[in-house]
Amino acid sequence: MKSRDMNHDWIATARTLSEALPYMQRYAGAIVVVKFGGNAMGDDAAMAEFARDIVLMRQVGINPVVVHGGGPMINDMLNKLGIKSEFVRGKRVTNKATIDVVEMVLTGLVNKRIVQAIMDEGGRAVGLSGKDDDLMVCEADDPELGFVGRPVEMNPQVLRDLFKAGIIPVVAPVATGMQPNETFNVNGDTAAGAIAGALKADRLLLLTDVSGVKDGNGNVVTAMTPDEVTAMIADGTIAGGMIPKTETALKAIEEGVRAVVILDGRVPNACLLELFTEHGAGSLIRPSR
C-alpha cells in the first residue's frame, strides 16, 4: 500500500508539471516584480521556500526582480541602539540617525540574507539598492517625515543588464535624492510599484500577510479593475493598510504594468500558484478589456 501511495504521489507531481506547461510558456521572457516581506522574512524555512520559487521562475525563463522590506529588523536595530522613533499619522519620522540605521539594515542584513537564500537554492542573485546606478531617485514625500522618499525618476537599465546575464536582482528600498549625499527610505510596496512601472513588467506580485482584497462580506475578490478598486476605496470597503497597497497597484497599472496581484505570502508556493495554475492565489487587478 505504501509503495502504491508513493507511486500515486509521483504521478500527481508529473501531472502538475504537465498542466503548468502552458503557463510557463505564457510567461517565458516576462518580467515579474515580487515585493517580499512580512513574516516569511523572519523564518528560515519560509525564506528557503520563497527563494526556491524565485529560482524556479528564473529557470523557466521569467525575469524576476525581488524588492524587499524589513520593518521589524529596522525596529530591532533601533531598539538595540537606543534610537527612539517618532510617528506622524502612523508613519515613522526618519531623521539622520534613523536613515543611517535603515540603510545599514536593508542593504546589509536583509538584502544579503535574501541573496544568500537564492544562491543556496542554485540561483544567481545580486543585491543592490535604489542608489545603485541611480536606479531610483526620490524627493521628500512629506517634510514632517524627514528622509522618507517618493520616487520621481527611475533608471532601470541596471536591472535589464542583470536579466541578460541570467542574474536575479534583489533590491533594497533605499534611494538617492536630488541633492548630493541625500538618502531616502522608501516604502517597500511603493518601491516595487515604481520598479515594475519603469520596467513595464508583466506582473507585480505584492506578497502580504492577508489573503487579498476583500469585499463587504469578507470574501476575497479574485479579479478587479482599477475602476472597481477606486470605488471600493471611496465607499470604505478597502480600508486601513490595504489602501496603500491598492493605490500602488493602480499607479503601477497607469505606468504600464499589465496586472498586479495582492496575495498571501504565507501560503506555500504562493508565487507559483499565481503564475502557473488556473486557480491563482490572490486578488488580480488589471485594466478591463
What local confidence, expressed as pLDDT, does residue 39 receive?
61
What pLDDT is stored for residue 267 in this prediction? 86
State residue 1's pLDDT score: 46
CA-based R_g, the chain, Å: 19
Please state the pTM of the whole predicted model: 0.91
Q: What is the pLDDT of residue 214?
A: 92
Q: Residue ranges of the domains in the chain? A: 27-285
pLDDT value at position 22?
A: 77
Q: Nearest 5 degrees, angle CA 207-CA 155-CA 284?
A: 25
Q: Please, what are the averages of pLDDT over each run of 10 residues along the chain (289 residues)?
A: 59 76 83 86 86 95 95 90 80 88 94 96 97 97 92 97 98 94 93 98 93 89 94 92 91 96 89 83 86
CATH class assigned to 27-285: alpha beta
